[in-house]
Amino acid sequence: MTRAMQSPMHQQTTMSALIDRMSNSTGMNAASSPFNQPNDRNTPDKHEIRFPHIQIPEFDGTYTEWIRFRDLFEAMIHTRANLSDVERLEYLQTRLKGDALSLVKHLRPTNENYKIAWDLLSKKYNKNDKVKRAYLELLFDQPAMKLLSASELKES
């Protein structure tokens, strides 16, 4: 080996020997050194950002709210492996109201009924044409302005 290749290996050996000597003189062994402890990613870092709790919104059957409700519910409840379908159905029914709740409120809390409830909601509200139409109605059903002024725009 060339001297350049030996140098890092020699430095590593020297560093290890130095650590061993320091450990022996302080009564620490290498295993108890904080530098030799595994980094546990499940332990929160003191600088870790704490995000606010996400609340799944109630869904009443309004097409303009379906995509948001569906995506949040799927991410937070539907795809969680540690929940049973009975628990999923309970979460689902507690986040529904109005027309959406009337579709599934007759279903008893069983594992089999969660899939039925989710399919009923998906068949009714996963309709891109109705969602688009609802957004267009929302956009075009704005009140007409009497005067073209910024102050009137703010008021409406």
Band the pLDDT of 59: cuts 50, 70, 90: very high
Q: Which has more confidence, 108 or 150? A: 108
- Whether the CB-CB separation of 121 and 88 falls below 8 Å is answered with no
* Residue 33 pLDDT exceeds 50: no
pTM: 0.62
Least confident range from 42-46, 106-110, 124-128: namely 42-46
* Residue 86 pLDDT exceeds 70: yes
How crowded is residue 148: how many other Cβ atoms within 10 Å of its Cβ? 7
Mean pLDDT of 8-18: 54
- Whether the CB-CB separation of 92 and 113 falls below 8 Å is answered with no
